[in-house]
Amino acid sequence: MPPIRDAMSAFELFQPASVGDALGILDRHGADAWVMAGGMDTFDWLKDRIKKPKVVVDLGMVDELRGIKDAAGGLEIGATTTLTTVANNPLVKERFPLLAEAALIVASPQIRNQGTVGGNISQDARCWYYRAGWPCYRAGGNICYADTPTAVNREHAIFNADRCVAVNPSDTAPALVALDAEFVIKRGSAERVVPAREFFIGPGIDITRLTVLQPGDLLTAIRIPATWAGKAHYFEKVRDRMVWDFALVNIAASLNMSGATISDARMVVNGVAAEPYRLDAVEAAIKGRPRDKATAEMAADLAVQGAVPLRHNAYKIPLVKALVKRAIRGEAEWATS
């Protein structure tokens, strides 16, 4: 039966004015509560009546969750800071243009004005079978409808699929992994800081969610250390339409250069697995090598080792290779070759 659209189920709305108040509400209501920031992902779920929380906690009035500030040469970004603010902030653009570019390309201007960086990294999978309410593995069933002989799976995973082949849909997530960011999560009176790479999880860890966030958790801030500030970078997103669309594949790269030699690197692709997929073998192989065509060709071959395409998404393999080549050679150099 198709979902009933545009008529949300009833829920109790809370609009706390502080982090403490929000945490108290989440503690009282547990799994019955749904946290909402910009609402871009929330209203899709509620209007389709797939998710029916008893309580919605709107963070729009919690001022302490917004803003960008210096943190020992790095930055701390409040989780409900809008994507437009992140993309336009002078400190972000100066120190971490990789993140600014990723935020600037999310969806459309209207969505960036409302959507938050915390929401962008915490959004759920966009697989249409899952979103339409089919009883798949991710929804608690015992089948992946996207991985069947007649499935439509052009946008799905080529790496690390374990029963579920949905992919992480975020543009800012790979940039934050490439910048060694950390996420601050509060729960009651406790606080934990989770490295970006560990924040995102695949179906082998928990097939029902894309992040470590559990009922009662509140993502409050993103901390980016100074490690990759001002380093060479590359971001590119390939999509069907130039506005609004999710990535077919995107890439975020940070490169620490010593003259013409790559001394260290972070390379992350998304849209290919349930979590931002860090290219560890590529990072190790390009250290100590020049940023040239030979390095790019070698890295491209390494990047797709282990890829297992589905019926309709084999195009992602050459696409990943092309993006890795561009990231290593650099956009300007690539454009003139």
Residue 222 sits in a domain whose CATH number is 3.30.465.10
Name the band, by pLDDT with cuts 50, 70 and 90, for residue 333.
very low
pLDDT for the residue 276 = 98
Q: Is residue 17 a part of any domain in this protein?
A: no
Q: Is residue 174 a part of any domain in this protein?
A: yes
Domain boundary among 227, 242, 270: 227
17-50 per-position pLDDT tens digit = 999 999 999 999 999 999 999 999 999 999 888 8
Check: pTM over 0.85? Answer yes or no: yes
- Whether residues 87 and 186 share a domain: the answer is yes
pLDDT for the residue 334 = 37
Domain boundary among 183, 198, 227: 227
306-317 per-position pLDDT tens digit = 999 999 999 999
Q: Is residue 198 a part of any domain in this protein?
A: yes
- Of the candidates 236, 242, 199, which has an alpha carbon nearest to the alpha carbon of residue 321? 236
- Whether residues 280 and 194 share a domain: the answer is no
**pLDDT of 219 higher than 70:** yes
Q: Is residue 24 a part of any domain in this protein?
A: no
Mean pLDDT of 110-125: 98
Q: Is residue 206 a part of any domain in this protein?
A: yes
- Whether residues 223 and 315 share a domain: the answer is no
- Whether residues 290 and 320 share a domain: the answer is yes
- Whether residues 106 and 254 share a domain: the answer is no
Q: What is the tally of structural domains in the chain?
A: 2
pLDDT for the residue 7 = 78
Q: Is residue 30 a part of any domain in this protein?
A: no
- Whether residues 84 and 109 share a domain: the answer is yes
- Whether residues 188 and 331 share a domain: the answer is no
Name the band, by pLDDT with cuts 50, 70 and 90, for residue 331.
low
Q: Is residue 55 a part of any domain in this protein?
A: no
Q: Is residue 39 a part of any domain in this protein?
A: no
Residues of the domain holding 305: 232-336
- Whether residues 245 and 311 share a domain: the answer is yes
- Whether residues 252 and 323 share a domain: the answer is yes
- Whether residues 199 and 279 share a domain: the answer is no
pLDDT for the residue 3 = 54
SS3 content of the chain, % helix, strand, coil (to 5): 35, 20, 45
87-109 per-position pLDDT tens digit = 999 999 999 999 999 999 999 99
- Whether residues 79 and 93 share a domain: the answer is yes
pLDDT for the residue 4 = 54
286-309 per-position pLDDT tens digit = 999 999 999 999 999 999 999 999
Mean pLDDT of 226-238: 98
- Whether residues 177 and 252 share a domain: the answer is no
Domain boundary among 178, 211, 227: 227
